[in-house]
Each structure stands twice: as structure tokens, then as C-alpha cells.
Structure 1
Amino acid sequence: MRDRADAERRLVAHDDAGAARAGVRPDRPSPCEENHMNRDLAEHALLNAAPADATVAAVAGEAGTLRAVPRDEPAPARDASRPLRVAIVHDWLVTYAGAERVLEQILACFPDADLFSLVDFLDDRAFVRGKPVTTTFIQKLPFARTKYRSYLPLMPLAIEQLDVSGYDLVISSSHAVAKGVLTGPDQVHISYVHSPIRYAWDLQHQYLEQSNLTHGPKSLLARMILHYIRNWDTRTANAVDGFIANSAFIARRIRKVYHRDAAVIFPPVDVDAFSLNEVKDDFYLTASRMVPYKKIDLIVDAFSRTPERKLVVIGDGPEMDKIRAKAGPNVEIMGYQPFAVLHDRMRRAKAFVFAAEEDFGISVVEAQACGTPVIAYGKGGALETVLDPRADMNPTGLFFDEQTPQAIVAAVDDFERAPQRFTPRACRANAERFSADTFRRRFLDYVETALPGATAQRGAPAAAPVPRGPATLVLDQSGVLGGAELSLLEIMKHMRANADVLLFDDGPFRAALEEIGARVDVVEQGALAGVRKQGGVSLGALAQLWRLVRDVAHRARRAEVIYANTQRAMVVAALAGRLARKPVVWHLRDIVSADHFGGKQLLAIKHCARLGVTRVIANSDASAQAFRALTGFTPQHVDVVFNGIAAEPFDALDNVSQAALRARFGLPADAWLVGSFSRLARWKGQHVLLEAAARLPDVHVVLVGAPLFGEDEYAAQLHETVARHGMDGRVHFLGFQRDVAACMKAVDVVAHTSITPEPFGRVIVEGMLARRPVVAARAGGVVEIVEHGDNGLLCEPGDATALADALVALQSDAALRTRLVASGRATALRRFGTRTYVERVEKILADTARAAKAKHQ
């Protein structure tokens, strides 16, 4: 054992000079990586403790060249004439967080690798490149989707059942048990460790205390399980040929726990998503989930003591109320914000304040990518990612030594004495050391050192998902995040590698598309913006339509198929498709009838569809039937594909109390809340809900949504209705909210009140996923979702009395609520999952492009 350790120390020796260039200070302790990757394991049913991330420790200078094989024996010989066989093993696939970002880049290095995991419950499969995943028996155990952590004692056994014996190279991405996969002497096993299982090692006593497991039978059982895990964890470390850690701190933990040396390769940060800004405004920023270890309360306390300085706080979480209570008038708490807002504030802030002790600290790097210096706690990962003026000629921030408000105030004072020390370009240059490109290059260098010739056979690395479908030009008329746009966003998560999106208006939808890495452009629609479903078309609008058609036709020459997501986009696509001789698929998300469209609009839809639409995807049978009646299309050219809605945003809030969510939105804690979730428009029927609530004096109404398309007059009428019935204290207008899942879980009932037939009824499925009883209007696509009395309640559209009766029934009958919630949830998961939705849309686009290509050959 000693000989092997000595050999590894010689082979993976730490280069102090190189480490200094890379921002690692050899003379100071180094940090912990972003625990948000897996602090959620703290929710374990027995231990309530989260495993920290694993990573790699030690070596290589800025160039990232590892000087020797991290083994004390030669790599096994293999037949160079056959392709390299690579297996990648990840602990569990349930979300897309820090560990999964590392996995995404490892897959980019080895795009042909096979993927293994304990469980796979992903809805968004873009980052795993749509790969099938081999899972363990835990996948099929009861409640595994949401309670997989409870099966911790079975995880060592489960991971050992994965058969990777047929592979030359095995790469484990491990923060729990993945490194324990069984390999043979003729295989090379490299483990990227986000962290050894922290609650089983140095943090055991802290976790037991936090989980109230210090005494009694449960404590004894927990300690026995942790003892077993430690023994297993140590033993399986001997079978790993080479360790990589995500920070020098984790490398030292690997050395302490496993008696093994590790190379340090920092986790990838998407620095390209953050743009440099050299002009700063007069405010400081902090952004984080509001949980105790992030220490946001200390930052807010510090700035509240210096009222001449402004602080902006972005984020939410269980500590929100505590933090709001400490905030002075100079502290702006914005709560959760979409990426576009976070990016804007991060670019403009004079400095980013960070008080947590993290293994790495991704937000610290993201701030520097914007050219924003960092004021950080001088422990953990910040020591490896921020350059201190005491140690570097081009500093990017400074440190405070204690997690106290006084220390933060002193650090800000120090910063303001000479802010010119920290230049935006120096911050950006430092951040680029942590880019995905740098990660892939260094990771491949390490693999090549461990298994010579491995990277020569892997094919070219791909930073983005490999295109799996035809080159597609996607059109949408809107820049707002309506139901059609949210549904398209889900598709683009999977199609972004082979699709270009063109919007006819700018707004939050563009920012959301950019956030997921989609290629998006905006072309102004000019006079067309004034065309409404019930209106006519001016000469100016026709002229602008022709300009749009020509622009789209030009762009479409590089595409194999045009995919239109909205009605106005379909008109442009149909005409452009004829010009460019490209097939057009229209995703129909409306009921094309006189209830929703004017006569001229219906004529335009009818003739444009006949002229240039090849195939139609309808979001419900109601939509499909109305379209076929209008246009005469045959059923063979109209496919019904229900919208897919991800369960993950709702499941992520399972352990957040309703009281905390209500406090977040300023809603009464003990009221019976009925929520409506849609834009404020007459046909959506919010006035019906208000009329029903006027009959029920103990019911409160929550209206989530804003007027979007010239519907401000209707919104004003809703306020007048509230005043007329004296319901000012019982009706809560929340406006547009990005986090629909949190809003829904804050209410007791989800109400759908459209007075004309709804094409689909997305809010109904979302309510089911939120585990809330749903009452809906019996018309259109709604009846294809809700079975009255089974998974929801139905009442006639516009009937306020029937709606009030349904709400009384739900309020008074807990057994009814329980039954509807259970059945509704099962319906949503079974019929409206994202995987089937995306796969069917992709297949229709591919089939359409293939048929068009064959026709022109």
C-alpha cells in the first residue's frame, strides 16, 4: 500500500508554480465544491443529510498537462484495431445540477459511450444526448422516483450489479457510490469524485445532530449504516486506477479518506453564457438559494448596517422570511429571477458578495465571467477561483476571514478604498480558466495519460448534443412565455443541436431559449404585431408579412423542415416554405373556430394551410377536429400529440412547506386558496371565478397571470369586480410568475375557468403534477384530460354557481380531495410526460423531412 502511494505521489506530484498560475495557493487550505450538487441527499429519510460533491485534487499547471499515468502498473494492453469501448457510471439521474454538468462534458468527450446509473428519472434528456441508460433494481422499487435516497443502504449492492465487464475504459462520476462499480484487471477505471460521501466521514456527527439522530434506536441504526458505508467506500477505492477531484480541497479529502492521490480538474462553468461588461452600476449583488449554509443573512445584516450602500439579493428558499426581516431599505430582495435578470444584475454590479464555504462555488466564477470582482469568505473553493491582490498582480477579488457581518463590512470598506485594483478584463480572463473547453481538454489529457491511445479512437469531442434529427427552422410569433411557448421550450431542450429558432418579437421567451443553449434570433414583425385573432389585416401588415416571408425563405434554405409553433408563424411558414421548397409542420395549439378567430383570420388559416402546410401536429383531438373541419385535411396529415409537462419542478418542492411558499408570495397562511393560472383574458374566465368566490365568504382567490395582448381593459374590470363585491382582502393578484410550480403548491385548489373551448388545458396537468385537486370547464381539450369525479371535477363553462358548488364540495370533503389528487397525479405522469411528447414531435419532423427529400430526388 505504501509503495503504491509513493508511486502515485511521484506520478501526480503537485507543481506549486503551476498551481499558483492556476489560482491555487499551495500555502493555504483550499475549498469545497458547490454543495448544491448533492446537499439534497440531506433529505435522506434516515439521516436527513446530503452527500457533498466529489472531485479531484492536485496537479497540473495552467496548461493542464498531467505528467504521468496515475497508476503504479502499466495500462492493460488492448486490441488497437477495434473501437474503444467506454462506459460512464453516474450515481443517479434525476435532475440537471452541478454533478450533471460534469457528466454532460464527459459525454461530450466520449459521445459513443454507454451510460449507467442507479436510477434514471430524467424528463429533460438533452444533456445525456438522448442516450438510453442502464439502471439497477432500485429503479423498480416503490416510490423510487421521489424517494430513491431512502434506498441508501441498498446502493452499494445495486451499483455492484451493473455489468461493465465488456468495456475497456470505465469512467465513474461519483459523489456517493458510482466509484464502487466492479471492474477487472484488464480495464482502466477513472473516477471523477465530486466528494467522498461526506456524511459518512468527517461530517457524520454534524449530520446526526442536525437530523436529531444523536440518541436512541434510530441513532444506533444510522451509525451502523454509516459504519458499513465507510468500510465499503474505503474498500472500493482500491479498485479505482485514477482519481480526479474537482478542487484541491477535495483532493486532500480523497488523500485523507482513501489514501490515494488525485489530479485536480475544476468542474466546467458555462462562462460563454455570461458576457463581459466593463461599466458598473452603484450596487452590490449576492445570489443564491436561501439556505443556512449560504450565509445570505450575514450579507444582508452587513449591508443593513451601511445604509449608504445598496445591495441586491436574488434567490429564494426556506430562509427567505428571516432574511427579509433583516433587510434595511437599502437592500432589495428580488426573490427568484430568471436567468436573463440574474445575468443583467451580475454584469452591472460593482462586486459580487459570497459568504459561504463551498467545495467550488460556481456563482463566483460566473460573476467574474461578467467582469465583476468578488468579495468572498476566505475558505473553501473561493481560494481556488478568486485571485487575491496579496498574491496576484491581476487580482479579481478579496477575502474576509470570518463569517460575520463585521468582517463583511470591513471587506467592502477595503474594496471601496481602491476598486480600480480589480479590472473587468482580469476577472473575465480568470473565469475562462474554468470553461467547458478547458475541462474537456484537461480531462482528455488525463485519460490519454491513464490509457495511451484512448483519445485517438474516441472521435471528435462535441460541446453540444449531437444532432439527432433534421436541420429545423423553428418559428414562433411571440416573445412572451405563454402556454405555446412553454411547450416549445420543452421540445427545444432536446432539439437545440439541430434547430434554429426565429421569433417575431423579443421578450422573456428569447431569454428562456438562450438559457437552455438554443440558437435564437429575433426579427421584428412591425405592423403585423397589431393583427389580432378577431381583426382584419392592414396594407402595412401585408407589406410586413411579405418582408417576413422573404426573410424566412432565405433562412429556410439551410433547413430540411420548417416547424411553426403558432398561428401567425404558420402563415409565414406556409408562404416561405413554398418559396424555399421546404416542407412545413404546424404545431396547432388553437381551436380554429369562430369562438377564437374572426372570419378573415379563419380564411387565412384555411388557405395558407392548404397552400403550404405539409403536416399538422394538434395538441388535442378537439383542436384536430376543428382544423380538419375548416381545411378538409385528412386524418393521415394531422397527428394528435398531447403536450408534455415535466414533473421535476413540482417534485423539487415536495419538501418545502405550503406555509413557506405562501410567505414567499405574501399569501395568508390559514386561508382556503383557489388559484387561477393563465394570462388575464376574458375567454380565460377569471371573472367567473370571482363571481363564484363572491358566494363563498371564506374562500380566497389567487390570480397568477398578466394581460398580454391588449387585454388591460379586462384586467381593470377584474379589479372593479373585486371592489364591487368587497373582496379586496380575499383576492390576490400576483401578476406574471415564472415559478408556476411554487405558486400552485401554495394554493389548495387549481381552477380552470375558460368560457370558450380550451385547445388543451396545460394548467390542468400542472395542477395534477402539483398534487392539487382541479376543477375545470367542460369543453374542448379539457374533457380529454379530466374525467369528472375520477381525477378532477368538471362544470359548465361560465357557470359561476356550478363552480361555487364544486369548490364547496372540495373544501368540505378531504377524502374527495385525496382521491382526486392521487388519480390526477397518475394521469399526468402516465399520459402527459415529456419523453413521449418530445419523441413523437421529433419523429414527425424527421418523417416529414425524409419524405420531402425522397420526393425531390
Structure 2
Amino acid sequence: MVRVLFLHPDLGIGGAERLVVDAALALKQRGHEVSFLTNHHDSTHCFKETADGSFPVQVVGDWLPRKLFGRFYAFCAYMRMLYAAFYASFFMPQREQVDVVFCDLISVCVPILRLARHRPRVLFYCHFPDQLLSSREGLLKRLYRAPINWLEERTIGLADKVLVNSKFTLRVFQDTFRHLRTTPDVLYPSIHTQYFDQMVQKLDQRCTVLDDTVHPRVPRNAFIYLDINRYERKKNHALALRSLRLLGDMLPALDFKRCRLIIAGGYDTRCLENVEHYAELEQLMTELKLQEHVVLLRSPTDEEKCRLLYSAHCLLYTPDNEHFGIVPLEGMYFTKPIVALNSGGPTETVVHNSTGFLCEQEPKSFGGAMYQLFRDEALRLKMGDLGHKRVQQKFSFDAFADRLNSIVHELRPKSSSKKLE
């Protein structure tokens, strides 16, 4: 048994948060003692495993500002994580000291953890280089980001082990951090298939009793395109809307009347971009005259998301150069064909013309795939079945858990191993 602490900035709802929760579940299943330390945790806006007592969750430093004068988000995030790292290293009670710290997103905490009296081993999971996630337009922005970017590269190199989420991210990592001698290993995220299996069983039973619909604005005979992603501009939800408009021009009016696009995105009122982009999508929906065909949902629960995946006919995945993308795996496991952009992580999960379509970033290409799936039910069902099998064979939760378990055992300090023996 290894004592593992997950150090994460904000245990909200997102791909990075889903990864750390699944990693914690995997290690707990393998008999390890797992806990979380975070700067922020809202029990009404999080994955249920962090709120239902599955793991101890401790919040430190939430009183520190998230921004200064409406800016300096990265600086504040680094300061908050430094505070958490100091707490974990020097102020955590002796009985709560750990063997391995799993941290991600912000690497500035790594050198602080190495200074801890009990010296835990540090595992850093790189979803994507932080410096590439922010726009660096203008001289002042570049000057502001320069020391932060320098710190990111130097501090990642101090971790005992570095993992990345895809071969695509590995290439970007090596191109970005050219001074590092560290060669990360690829650990693909997985999905908690046992939970999904339980939900499918419940939904199967429900459907035999109730003839209801997934949403009041979605008719029972609707053909549902589902788009799951946070309400951020880089997630490119506008492509789904414009492609749906083009689909409406290709289909007969009676057929298009059945079509519905459900966008289900993470939405946090503390995040200005979430609020602004949601309003932008509402406006675009009106401009394209799609009000009757589109439903915008904010922060669906795990159960709601499962019901959406269960009821949908096709999953749309619109981000360009996404680092990995857990949603296509979820869609494939629910036997849904995937329509995604031909870039980034989806090129490693979606097999073109087999489990879905990899398209160009334009409505003509995306809408054409949506049209083909609407017209060809046999193809849609075949792709869904192949997608489910691909997740089982290549991205199973057991394989993910076994690999992570092996890495944690390798990292465990020798002194800890002797004590356990």
C-alpha cells in the first residue's frame, strides 16, 4: 500500500479533473490510500466522487485571490498552488504524510514538494504545456508570461516522473521544453467503465417502464447530436452550430425537423468566459435560426451526462488540436459514432471511417459527416459497436489502473517500502 496525495488546483468539472478522479479511483481499487489537497472545491460543482466521501478532500488557500484587477490569473494560480505545496510539505500533520504526490496542471509546486521533510516522490501529469494554453498577444503579455514559462519548464524537470496524456502531447512537450532531458511516458486517460455499465443497466430498466424524453424540448422521435465540452471559445461549439445549419440546408424539412443538437457544457459563474461564451452561442443560435433545434445545458451531473450519452445518436467533438479528449472515449463506450476534428488526441482514439469520422475544421466537412450518419442507420450502428470494442481493447480502465499502479510502486520511497515490509 502506497499513500498517494493528489494535489490539484480546482476540483471542479473538466477533463483534467475527470483524469485525476479516475486516477484516484484506480489507485484506491488497487489498495492504496488516496487523498486530495486542492485550492478550491465546491460540492455543488464537482464530480460526485469528491463530494460523496469516496476520498478525503482538504481545501487550503482558497482565501487567496484568483485574479488581480481582473487580470493575472496565471500568477494567482501559481501563488495558490505554492501555498498548497508549502502546506503539504511543512504543515500537514505527521499522520497524513504521504509517499507519492500526484500533481498536474501547475508544476511550480514540484520543487517545494522536494524540500519536504519526509521527501515524497513527485509524479507530474502534463495534460498540455501551460504556456501554450494562454494567448501571448502583445509585448506586455509576453513579458508577463516569460518568467512563468521559464518556471514551468524548470520545475517540470524536477519531478521524479513525468507522464503525458497522448503521443500528440508528447510531441508538443518535446518541442516546447527543449532544455529538458526528461522524456515523459504516455499514459492514456481512461473512463470509469464500471460506473457507466451500472448507469446503462439503470437506463435500460427505466426505458422499459417510462417512455420519456431526454429533455422537454427534445421530441421522442428526435435524432440527437450531442456536443459535450466546457463553455469556452477554444472548444469550438460554434462549429457544431454552423454544421447543423448546413445540415438543415441538405435535409428535407420534415427530416430536419427531427434533428436536435444538445450542447452540454461545464459552466462556472466564477469564470467570465463561461458566462460570455454561453451568451455568444445563444446569439449565434438566433442568427442561424436554430432556436427550435438546439438545447444548451449547463454543468450536467454525471447521471444527466450518462442519460444524454445513452439517448444520443451521434457525438460531436469540435475542439481543434485537443490534447487528448476524454469525451470521445465516453461516446464510443456508449456505442455512439464520433464526429471529431482530424487533429490532436482524437486522431489516436477515433478511427476514421471505422468508429467515426475525422473531419476538417469547416461546416461542409463536419456537416457532411452528420448528414451521412443521419441517412445511414446501419453505418451508425456499426460504428458505434466498433467504438465500444475499441475502448475495451485499447483504453480499458483496468489497463489504465494496472499501469498507474505499477508506476506508483516504482516511485514509492525505499524507506517506505522497508517500513511496510
Scaled by the length of structure 1, the TM-score of the pair is 0.41
Q: Do residues 837 (structure 1) and 400 (structure 2) align? A: yes
Percent identity of equivalent pairs: 18
Matched with 2:376 is 813
State how many pairs are aligned: 377
Mapping of residues 34-49 of structure 1, within 5 Å: none
**2:345 match: secondary structure:** helix
User: Judging changes above 3 Å, is the alpha-carbon distance between structure 1 residues 596 and 766 closer, same or farther for their aligned structure 2 residues?
Assistant: farther
Matched with 1:745 is 310
Listed one character per residue, the Cα deviations across residues 813-842 of structure 1 (whole Å, up to 9, x for unaligned) are 122212211211110111111111112112
User: Judging changes above 3 Å, is the alpha-carbon distance between structure 1 residues 640 and 556 closer, same or farther for their aligned structure 2 residues?
Assistant: farther
The equivalent position to 2:101 in structure 1, one of 562, 570, 577, is 562
**1:575 match: secondary structure:** helix
User: Judging changes above 3 Å, is the alpha-carbon distance between structure 1 residues 591 and 654 closer, same or farther for their aligned structure 2 residues?
Assistant: farther
Verify the 8 A CA contact 1:552 1:573 in the aligned structure 2.
no
Q: Do residues 630 (structure 1) and 167 (structure 2) align? A: no
Q: Distance in 1 between matches of 2:24 and 2:233?
A: 30
Matched with 2:226 is 675
Verify the 8 A CA contact 2:99 2:120 in the aligned structure 1.
yes
Verify the 8 A CA contact 2:110 2:156 in the aligned structure 1.
no
Matched with 1:471 is 3
Q: Distance in 2 between matches of 1:623 and 1:556?
A: 37
Q: Do residues 552 (structure 1) and 110 (structure 2) align? A: no
Matched with 2:39 is 504
Matched with 2:365 is 802
Verify the 8 A CA contact 1:526 1:541 in the aligned structure 2.
no
Matched with 2:243 is 692
Mapping of residues 264-275 of structure 1, within 5 Å: none
Matched with 1:639 is 185
1:654 deviates by 4.1
Mapping of residues 563-642 of structure 1, within 5 Å: 563-564=102-103, 566-568=104-106, 570-580=107-117, 581-590=119-128, 592=130, 594=132, 598=136, 600=145, 601-610=148-157, 612-632=158-178, 633-634=180-181, 637-642=183-188
Scaled by the length of structure 2, the TM-score of the pair is 0.81
Verify the 8 A CA contact 1:758 1:782 in the aligned structure 2.
yes
Q: Distance in 2 between matches of 1:488 and 1:710?
A: 25
CA RMSD in angstroms comes to: 2.8
Verify the 8 A CA contact 2:319 2:341 in the aligned structure 1.
yes
**1:764 match: secondary structure:** helix
For structure 2, which runs of at least 5 residues remain unmatched after alignment? 137-141, 249-255
Given residue 665 of structure 1, which amino acid in structure 2 is its aligned partner?
H
Given residue 795 of structure 1, which amino acid in structure 2 is its aligned partner?
C
1:596 deviates by 5.1
Verify the 8 A CA contact 1:583 1:852 in the aligned structure 2.
no
Verify the 8 A CA contact 1:703 1:733 in the aligned structure 2.
yes
Q: Distance in 2 between matches of 1:662 and 1:529?
A: 42
Q: Distance in 2 between matches of 1:737 and 1:661?
A: 21
Given residue 523 of structure 1, which amino acid in structure 2 is its aligned partner?
V
Q: Do residues 703 (structure 1) and 248 (structure 2) align? A: no
Matched with 2:57 is 520
Q: Distance in 1 between matches of 2:135 and 2:72?
A: 8
User: Judging changes above 3 Å, is the alpha-carbon distance between structure 1 residues 631 and 504 closer, same or farther for their aligned structure 2 residues?
Assistant: same
**1:693 match: secondary structure:** helix
Q: Distance in 1 between matches of 2:344 and 2:333?
A: 21
Verify the 8 A CA contact 1:592 1:626 in the aligned structure 2.
no
Matched with 1:491 is 23
User: Judging changes above 3 Å, is the alpha-carbon distance between structure 1 residues 778 and 551 closer, same or farther for their aligned structure 2 residues?
Assistant: same
Matched with 2:66 is 529
1:629 deviates by 2.7
Q: Distance in 2 between matches of 1:661 and 1:834?
A: 32
Given residue 549 of structure 1, which amino acid in structure 2 is its aligned partner?
A
Verify the 8 A CA contact 1:545 1:572 in the aligned structure 2.
yes
User: Judging changes above 3 Å, is the alpha-carbon distance between structure 1 residues 839 and 549 closer, same or farther for their aligned structure 2 residues?
Assistant: same
User: Judging changes above 3 Å, is the alpha-carbon distance between structure 1 residues 596 and 810 closer, same or farther for their aligned structure 2 residues?
Assistant: farther
Q: Do residues 718 (structure 1) and 269 (structure 2) align? A: no
Q: Distance in 2 between matches of 1:510 and 1:672?
A: 28
Verify the 8 A CA contact 1:775 1:792 in the aligned structure 2.
yes
The equivalent position to 2:215 in structure 1, one of 665, 677, 683, is 665
Q: Distance in 1 between matches of 2:209 and 2:171?
A: 44
1:721 deviates by 0.4
Listed one character per residue, the Cα deviations across residues 181-238 of structure 1 (whole Å, up to 9, x for unaligned) are xxxxxxxxxxxxxxxxxxxxxxxxxxxxxxxxxxxxxxxxxxxxxxxxxxxxxxxxxx
1:714 deviates by 1.0
Mapping of residues 257-406 of structure 1, within 5 Å: none
Verify the 8 A CA contact 2:129 2:176 in the aligned structure 1.
no
Verify the 8 A CA contact 1:474 1:562 in the aligned structure 2.
yes
1:687 deviates by 0.7
The equivalent position to 2:355 in structure 1, one of 782, 787, 791, is 791
For structure 1, which runs of at least 5 residues remain unmatched after alignment? 1-467
Matched with 2:139 is none
Q: Distance in 1 between matches of 2:374 and 2:336?
A: 12
Q: Distance in 1 between matches of 2:371 and 2:99?
A: 54
Given residue 753 of structure 1, which amino acid in structure 2 is its aligned partner?
T
User: Judging changes above 3 Å, is the alpha-carbon distance between structure 1 residues 658 and 743 closer, same or farther for their aligned structure 2 residues?
Assistant: farther
1:529 deviates by 2.7
Mapping of residues 21-32 of structure 1, within 5 Å: none
Q: Distance in 2 between matches of 1:510 and 1:696?
A: 34
Q: Distance in 2 between matches of 1:550 and 1:567?
A: 17
Q: Distance in 1 between matches of 2:135 and 2:414?
A: 32
Matched with 1:770 is 334
Q: Distance in 1 between matches of 2:181 and 2:82?
A: 29
**1:722 match: secondary structure:** helix
Matched with 2:251 is none
1:493 deviates by 2.5
Verify the 8 A CA contact 1:703 1:731 in the aligned structure 2.
yes
Q: Do residues 779 (structure 1) and 326 (structure 2) align? A: no
Q: Distance in 2 between matches of 1:507 and 1:710?
A: 17
1:656 deviates by 4.7
Q: Distance in 2 between matches of 1:799 and 1:591?
A: 27
1:500 deviates by 2.1
1:658 deviates by 9.9
Given residue 550 of structure 1, which amino acid in structure 2 is its aligned partner?
F
Verify the 8 A CA contact 1:661 1:742 in the aligned structure 2.
no
Larger RCO, structures 1/2 (Cα 8 Å, 6+ apart): 2
Q: Distance in 2 between matches of 1:838 and 1:661?
A: 38
Compare CA radii of gyration and give the structure with the larger one: 1
1:789 deviates by 0.4
1:578 deviates by 3.3
